[in-house]
Amino acid sequence: MWQMSVPWWEFVLRGVVVYLFLLVFMRLSGKRQTGQYEPFDLILLLILSNAVQNSMNAGDNSLLGGLISASTLMLCHVGLARLAFHFPRIGRWVDGKAQVLIDKGELNQTLMRKELLTREDVEAALRAGGCLHAHEVERATIETNGQITVVLRRRGE
C-alpha cells in the first residue's frame, strides 16, 4: 500500500506532462468540448482519464503514488490558474476569449463551423435565452467556458 515501484519525482514529472498534454488537447478541441457536456463529450472525457492513468502512475498502484499524482495535478491546476490571473496573455491562451455568434440578428456561420456548433445547438441556446429566432437577438456570445449567452433586442427595434 505504501511501497512505490518508481521514485516520487517520476510521479510528479508524469503528472505534469499529462496535465500539459491534456490542457493543450482540450484547448485545441474548441469551446464545445469544454462548455457543453453532452453524452458524446462526457464519454470522451471519461475515456481520456482512463487512457492517461497508466502513463501517470507507471503501473504503480500504491496509495502513496496515487496521492502524489493527484497532488501534482491539483498543484498544476492551481499554479496555472495563478499564472493566468497574473499574466492576462496566458489567461487568454488557457481560457480563450468570448466570441460573437449573433450580432443584430445575423448568425456568424464561420464561427459556427469553427466551434462545431450545429443549428440545433444554436436553437437550444436561443430557447434558453428566451427567444426562438436569431432576428430577435441583439447579441449572442460564446463565452470562454463554451456557454452561449443571449441578449435580446428591445421591443420596437
Element (H, E) at 43: helix 39-57
The rounded mean pLDDT for the chain is 85
Tens of pLDDT along 117-151?
A: 899 989 999 999 999 999 999 999 998 878 899 99
* 3: in domain: no
61-102, pLDDT tens digit by residue? 888 888 898 899 899 999 999 999 999 999 888 888 899 999
| pLDDT over threshold 70, residue 36 | no
- Structural domains in the chain (count): 2
Q: C-alpha distances in angstroms, 33 versus 7, 69, 76, 149?
A: 35, 24, 21, 17
Regarding whether 71 and 128 lie in a shared domain, the answer is no
Residue 27 pLDDT level (bands cut at 50, 70, 90): confident
Residue 112's domain spans which residues? 99-152
Q: What is the pTM of this model?
A: 0.64
Q: Do 54 and 78 belong together in one domain?
A: yes
Together in a domain, 69 and 22 = yes
Average pLDDT over residues 23-38: 64
Strands 99-103 and 106-107: antiparallel
| 52 plus 121 within the same structural domain | no
Q: What pLDDT sits at residue 42?
A: 63
Task: Give yes or no: residues 86 and 137 share one domain.
Answer: no
Spatial separation of the C-alpha atoms in residues 1 and 96, rounded to whole Å: 41
Residues 63 and 106 in one domain: no
Q: Is residue 157 part of a domain?
A: no
Kindly give, in sequence order, each residue whose CB lies less than 8 Å from that of residue 134, ignoring residues fewer than 6 positions away: 102, 105, 106, 107, 122, 126, 140
Task: Note whether 88 and 14 are same-domain residues.
Answer: yes
Question: Does the structure show a pLDDT above 80 at 16?
Answer: yes
Local confidence band at 33 (pLDDT 50, 70, 90 cut-offs): very low
- What percentage of the chain reaches a pLDDT higher than 90? 41
Q: Do 75 and 23 fall within a single domain?
A: yes
Same domain, 57 and 117: no
Domain CATH code at residue 123: 3.30.240.20
Neighbour count for residue 92 (Cβ, 10 Å): 12
pLDDT of residue 41: 64
* Domain presence at residue 2: no
142 or 53: whose pLDDT is higher?
142
